[in-house]
Each structure stands twice: as structure tokens, then as C-alpha cells.
Structure 1
Amino acid sequence: MDRMQPGTHGGGIDVRYAPIVSLLDGSLFGYTAMPYDARTNMPLTPAGFFTRSEEEGALYDNDRLFRELAIRNAAGEAGAVKLFIPVSARIVFDPRLHPGGTLNRLEAAGLRPEQVVLSFTDEMFEPAGTLHAAVRHYRTQGFRIELGGMAVDRASMERMASLKPDYVRIGKEWLPRGPKDAVGESLLAAVSALARKEKFVLIAGGVEREEQIRVLIAGGIGYGEGSWIGTGTERPPAVEERVASRIRQEMRRRFRGSAGSLAELAEPAITFPGHTPVMEIARSFEIHREVSGFVIVEDGKPVGMLMKDKLHRMLSRQFGLPLYGSRPVSKIMDAQPLIADISTPVDQLSQTAMAREPDKLYDAIIVTRGGEVAGIVSISALLDWVTNIRMSDAQWANPLTGLPGNEPIRRELHRRLDEGRPFSVFYADLDYFKWYNDQYGFHRGDDVIRFTSEVLQSVVRKYNPDDSFVGHIGGDDFIAVIDYGNPVRMGEEILAEFDRGIVSFLEPSQGPVRDRNGDPVEQARLSLSLALLSCQDPSGWTPERLSEYSARLKKSAKGKRGSALEWETLGGFSAAAANRG
């Protein structure tokens, strides 16, 4: 076996950088430094690199050289983002390892310990206690820790829980294999729930396809890395615009129409330039006791945040004041604060805020307008708003079906109309339901209402899972709002599913079917009438006008025997449309 020679380009060990992107807003979160064989011009896996180095008797030397290269080549280019460096846990017992060596290299490169994440692989055959010893060694120096290579098994997850890393990187074996992989989605949801409980941040490795973005965001995964996001380069790369745009597009789609404006929650922000001495900041916190954090700016644009509680903890340490008091605040601020444009939906911002690292969960959020500071939002104000809106929606939910009621329905229709994009809306009404209630009692009638809601929801989810809405207007009236797509086919399947299932609610001895006036109706039974409005051009329409127009279609559907669908494609509303009938 050829021995790897320490060196750079053409000599042996080299380094490449792969971007880690935020799946919350498309911004750059950090870089992973990856070992690279300069002789073969091929990337190396960290586990393979360290195993090979150990077999050659060069583990300590190669590990040290790789760290030096990773730090030196990123100096001045990594900015305020995180730098993830794979390290070997096995060198922790090497007598040549002295605390502070990596810290000195970071200081020379202008980086801070909290910017660097040391990444360990969850290797099954590590000697007992090696990983724990390595984590303790580096954590006491202020480094953050990542555990990678977590297998889909109990032992691996138990080891992760005991190590309590700051970050956990999951491979593609944790990701759904396709758009209809229910087991994969459940697995992703399970590890996401575990991350929230154990308070670590998940990074999805192996993001190879654009379509994986949607399921990762839906699964609550905050960050991603992989060939679709960006491959390894000699210098830390920027996030490609196609990647950032796709992520922002998916977040807008996911929270399209969410209620609430940051303008309602934002409070005035107190700002300081980055060169302000820390002691001046501390005195300002004493003057402004009600303020939890200050925004650090450069040319009016936010570059950092300093929270009062974190400053006090820093200064209260032994030698804290002499060490930091005269330094500029830029040296101790959080250089990766959460920044949101004032147009960001509050629901979206709350999810983004709750996906942050545990030690940042309660930090204030900087609000911008046109890139400049417009205010800050406290987490308490954000959570209060979310709680209140959830309670409000719960008050409007139908107690029988749990579906949204009239106020959420009105909001959804206004949202669709305001967007100006084509959409379709179903109005559903049960036929002869009053007779059924009188014949069998309201308990059986309630069962029919629930069955109807389940049919609507299942078919709508099948055809339009991402951006659809099903509401319960009241009684035996329902509404479904969907993207334009193929609504007629969807309506036909709703009727087919309803007719297949409704027979189980009927008995041969049911007697004659009667209409609302009590008159017998021959050859009729409990059925469903659907009115479908396909709005190609929503301009000029209102929820009230749509409801009035659907009433004509429903009347036509009810005039037919059995379950029926009537539909019409709408252009922009006009006086001519208003007079049609």
C-alpha cells in the first residue's frame, strides 16, 4: 500500500469544501471540509481516510495536517458560517495531543471556536469510551460537536443520545426513496421528533435530487448537504442561486396564505456598529433594562446579534471582564443570527426559529425591510401569536369532523383570490340527509357526515397533497379548495368513493325516501351533489360571489338522479357573469 505523504496539491492530503445549506431560507449555513487524495484526484470518506492513516501509522500526523489545511484554506473565506471538520476520536489518547493546538490555529486564521464543528463518525468498533473521551476533550475547549454516520438501529441512536452532540448528520438511508415512500417519511419524522426531544440539530447528508427538498422541509429537517446542493471545491463555495431559489420557493408554497404580519410583532431595534467596545454594550444593557438584545450593523445592514443573557454569562466568568471588556462587540456577537424580511409569514418564521440550535432557541429575531434593520421580534411574542391563532382556528373547527369552519374557509378563499393564480373549489352537499336523520336518528346521521368528510379528505390528499384545503361549512355542506390540476377527475372519484361507501349506512327496510316537504321520491337514496368552479382567472371574484354562483350548479346537480357533479370554468368576474343564471 502506498503511504500517504503529508502535503498539499500533488503531494498527498488535500481538502475540498462542500456547502451546507439552510432548508429554512436557502442561506449558507456552513461548509464540510472533506479529505481528498491529491495524488489520485479522488475524494476520501472520513472513515476511510482515518482508517488508512492508522494502518500506515500516520493517524496523528495526517489528522493534524488535515485540520491545518481545512482551517488555513477557509481563512478569510468562511466568513461567519460554520466550518465542519472531520476528526478521528482515536487520537485522543495519543501523548502528542495537547489541548489548545487547534484553538491556536483557529485564532491565527481569524476564526472562533464556536464557528468550528468537529465531526465524529459513529463507528461501531471504536474502543469503549473513546468517543466519549474525545467529545469531552474538545467540548471543554468551546468546540461544537457533530456525530455522523448514525445507522438506522437502536444501538446507534442510544449512542447518539448518550453523547449529546450539537449536530447529527443522517445519511440517505434515512430519507424517503420516492414521493410515495410512506415508511421513509415515517422514519424521517421519527428521527426529527427525536432531535427535538434530545435537543440536537439535524443535517441531512446525501441530498442528491431536487424533489428531496420538499419531503425534507415537510419532515422538519433544518439543513442539508449533498451533490444536488453542491459538490466539493478547493475553496469554500457560495450557495448556487438555483438551490437557494428552490428552497425559498418551497417555503413560500408551504406557508402560502399564512396569517399574520411581522409588522404587527416587530419592536424597535437598538443598533450598534461592530467596533463598539463590549463594555459600552454592557452599560447600554443597564440603561435599557427592558431590551433583551442589540443588533450589530454595518452600513445599516444587520451582521450580528448580542443577547443580554449571553453577554452577562461571558463577563461573569473568571477574567471575563479583562478578557472581553475592551474588545469590539464584533468579536463576541452571534454572527449568524436569524434574520427575516418583514414580509415573511409568522407561521414560517416560528418554524424556522424553533429549528435553530438549542442555545439560540430563545434569541430575538432581526426583522429587515429592503435589507436594513426594521426591528426585532422576541420569541415570547412570536409564540404568543402562534398560540392565539391556533386557539382561534380551534374555536372555528367543526366539533363533529374537526375540519376548519367558516372563518378559516373565508381566509383560504381570500388567500387564493389575492394570489391571482388558477384554482378550483368544490362545494359538496348531501341529498336527502334530513330524511336520513329522521329515519335513523342523529347518531347515524353524524356517522354519515364523518364518512363524507373522510371521503373528501382522502381523495383531495391523493390528487393534491401539498396545497389543498377541506372545510366544513356546517350541517351537510362541505368545501374543498385545490390547485387547478384535473378537478373534474377528482370530483368523479369523490362521487365514486362516496357511492361505494354509503351503501353500508343504508338498510333494505329503510322505507320510502322523502324530500324536505315529506313527499315520497321514487328511486332515490342518500347521495352527494358536487358543484365545481374552476377559476382560471380569479380577478374580480369574492368568496360571496363564488358561493352564490356555486348555488346554481348545486341546484342543477340536485336535479339529477343519484350523486352528480356539475362544473364550470370561470374567467374574470364581470357584470355579464353576475347576470348569468
Structure 2
Amino acid sequence: MSLLPDWMPGANQFVSNDPGDELDVEREAIRQCSLSAVFQPIVWLREGSVLGHEGLTRGPVGSPLHAPDLLFARARALGLGVELEHRACVCVIQRFAALRLPGRLFLNVSPQALLAAAHGPSDLLTLLAQAGLEGSRLVVEITEQSLGASWPELSGVIARLQRGGVQFAIDDLGAGFSNLGRWLTLRPKYIKTDKAFVSGIQEDLLRQQILRSVSDIAAVAGAIVVAEGVETLEELASVCDQGIACAQGYYLARPQAQPQRLNWPELAAALAGQRLDALRCCSEPGLPQDDVQGWALQLLRRVPSVTSQVSSEAVFNLFLSKPNLYTIPVVEHEIPVGVLKRSSLIERFSLPFQRELYGSSPCRLFMDSKPLIVDMHTPLLTLSRWLAEAEGHGLAADFIITGRGHYLGIGSSQDLLQALNRLQLRAARHANPLTQLPGNVPIDRQIQRYLASGLQFAVCHADLDHFKPFNDRFGYRLGDDVIRLLSRVLGHHVDERLDFLGHIGGDDFIVLFRSGDWKTRCERMMREFTSGMAQLMVEAGQGDVQHYEAEDRRGVTCSYGLPTLSLGAVQVEPGAYQSRHQIAQAASEAKSQAKKQPGSTLFIERRGVGSLQAA
């Protein structure tokens, strides 16, 4: 009688009492079993684009070994693990190429399979070439605990694949709790965290801290973190809050033989709602506020929308049924194309015969086709300026809020004014009393936002030279005027749409530049401060002062010139710095280098190597 499973080829004809014969048939069955490929997208969380797809293998349909874990476990038990992996690689790579999927292909390959395939017909570079794919399209995932003793032999294989453009990822980081030494050795481009760290992360501070720590280390290493196992909206929102760049999981998309286009607008809208709920939960006095404050997202309200083909009568009835509804967005294929205003339509239909004549006409006849449309990340101060300057809108108008161009909801000017008032009250608590510029707390928060978002920016620490002896000689009132002068000069040369200006205290200021021409702006700051300083002395009745005498810090009388401006700058590339503390230290050291040079000086620190530029 046969002891083999019914699903195996030839099982019904096999009759033997020899276990060895049975294993031989089982091995042959696994060698001949059909394999198929499914793909699960890996998503950039900030923009919703697809980084790539993880290719996964499935066994014979309808059999117990359809699940890959069971299939590969049984193959390894029969000594066929590496052979089956090679077949799986061929299947996944060919199917990925046939489907023309976007992004990179993430493929699980064991060190043993990599070694066995090197330079042979199953070599990954050979398989990619046969499928018409560049080496740069492949990311090989190696599980953290599988590196083991094979690493010395594997390093040469990995180096050869990397020369061919293949990138590497450590998979299931933390699953085996092994040390981080392999991270140092492999230097992977991608880090995929084990799903155990994502499950329930929204309610577990330890899981949140672990992911933040991994993200910080990856930023220093120049790696990209992918959080695996995201299965709920709450988990997705929390993963975003920890600064994780990419995610993968059932909530985003399940593995499919033919992956469908990701519905990111719907996911973004759900995330926006989740963040608003969190914001409302934190709105009680004394509780911390979410960073979403200060963005248009804070003002988001969900209202009914219509397409441009809906009848004007239907829109009129919708307004009548909802007395507090003043604006209805007109949306086509998730893109806003206009708005219908309550006052305009009701006024029009109140005229004789207008409702009878135009009630069945499409509502696009009465819509405003040029509404104010803003992205969810638009700062509130910028939004208020746009509303004030927008022709035909003004501060009484509602506006449409979008995420990556797709409709999310609307915002009202009344809500905007209330939010601005709250922001002003909060800002006043953290502002420098002399200049009214943001102080240390807002500066730290802004740097942290930039780091979490992976933005490229420059940090410039501004400080006056010989300011203490100037204060001692001319008095603190004139000294305060000098600080206010510096505040105005710096403010003249920052772009408020991109840059951030803060006042640390005394004569120390911080500028966070996202303007591409920030070096030119710094040079203008130094020139304007020098001329402004001379003019200030004249206006203060001190005449054309060139030099004066005052005591230094040791009580020795010295000759000094008027205060000059030293600027120490640090260019922050994504992943170059782990925390705002490192950035502050680097900017302070750059400022110290600038102060060693006479006159107004800009010193730029580039990855620890200074480059001097003098005014």
C-alpha cells in the first residue's frame, strides 16, 4: 500500500515497504512539482509610490505544500532545499519580467543557494540577463540569522553581484536577536524589520522605540527601512510616525499573481483621518500636540462631493437637505475640478424659471472651475497668505485639500483663523522675547521633522564676533539694537516658503535652509550686516566708528572693530545624521571654525571636512 500523499504524482501507483523507495519518489515529486509566483508591493510611505515588489513562491495548488514554508521545509529535509530555491528564483524572475512590474524585485535567497549558484546556470546575474532585466532591478533578501558560518565564503559572491548592480537587504531584522555585526559587514541598502515589531505598535511604546532606533541607525548607514507585517490602519499610522520610509503588509496589499495598482489616494485619506483623530485626542490642555498642527491637514473636513455630470437639481436638493453645507467639491476620477457654492446656486434658482430651465442641466454650468486647491502639507501661514492674495477667493472662501493631487476634503477660512490663533499662542510661549523669533523648542522640532521626512537641507549657525566687548563699551540697549538688526538681516534673506529662522538666544541664531541658493543668501547676509552695522552706529550718535577699546574676558584692555558675522553651515544629506543633537553639534563646530577667521566668514562643514569661504 502507498504511504505517499495523494497529491504527489504517481502516489496511487506506488506500493512498497521500503522507506528508502518512498523517499526517492517524494524527492522526485518535489523536483517535478509545479511552482508559481506571487508579488507583494513595498510602498514609499511619504508619497505612496511603489519601491518594488517582493517575489514569493507558491507550491502545487490544492496540496498541503502550497504554502511556501511547508514546501521549503520539506525540501530541505529531503536535501533538495538549494535545488528548489534555484527553481523558485527562475520562476519569480521570469514572471516579474513578464508582468513588467514597476520598481525593484525583492527576492529571498539563502546564503547556501547563493554559493551553489555562483558562476553556474542558476547564477542570479545570468537569470536576470535571460529575463531581460538589469542587475540594478534586483534586491536579494538575506535573513539575519541565516548568514552564520558561511559568511567568509559568501562575501566574495556578494561583492561580485554588487558589481553587477544587485543590491542587498537584511530580512526579518531582530527575528533571531543576533548581533548587529552582520549589518556592519554586509552594509545592506535595505533593512526589513521583523513583523513582530509592527504588530500592535500603536499601543506599545517599546515597539515604537525599537523602530525609531532602527530608523536612526539606518539613517547613519544610508540604508532604507521597510516595516513588514503592516496589517491595520493604526499600525500604518504609527509606522509613519516613527520615521520609517517604506512598508509592506496585508493592509497595503496582499500577495497576488497579478498585483493591482495601489489605491494610494484612499490610503492617504484614511491616514489623514487617523491623524485627525489622533490630533483631536491630543487637543486637551497639557497634552502634547501632534506635528500635524500647522498644516492644512489639520483643517480637513469631509463633505459630499459630486461629479460634473450630476444634475444641478440634485446639487440644489443636497444644499437644501444640509443647511450647514456651503461648498460642494466637484471631483472627477479623484481629482478636484471645481466647487459649487451654496449662495450662488440657491440665488440663481430663486429667480423665475431658472430651476425649471437648468435643473436637469449638469452642475458644471454653475461651478467655480478655479477653486483654491492646497496640498495637505501646506503650512497654515502660507495658506493664509494665499487666501489673502487669491483673486476672487479671499478669507471668506472655502478651499479644497488634496494629498498628492487627489481629493481628500475641504477646509474653511473660519477654521484657518482659529488654528492660526492657537499657533500664535503656542509660538508666543516658545518665542524669543527680543526678536519674537522661534526659540529652541520650535527649532528642535523643525530639525526633527526634516530628519524624519528624509529631506535635504542646510543648517546655518549665525553668531556675532566680539559682541561682549561691544556690549560692555556701548551698553546693552545698543547691544539689543544690534541683535534686532541681525534678526532683520537674516529675515531678509530667507525664503519663508522653504526656510526656517530661529533665535537660540543672545547673539546666536539658526537658519534651516531648503533654498537651493543658500550659500549666496549667506554671503548677502554678511554684506548687509556689515553695512547695517555702520549705519546703526551713525543713527545711534556714535559716528563713523572703526575701532574702540574694551576689556576682554581676562580683563585686559584690547582694541576691537565693530561686530562681524560668523556663519557655520552644515549640509544635511538624507541619512547623514542620526539626530538633531548631532546636527546642532556639527553646526556649532562649523561656527567655531568661522570665528577663527577675521571679519565676516562663512565656514561650511562637509561630512566632517571643512571648506572655508570668506566674505
Normalising TM by the smaller chain, what interval?
Answer: 0.3 to 0.5
Q: Which has the larger radius of gyration?
A: 2
TM-score by length of 2: 0.41
TM-score by length of 1: 0.43
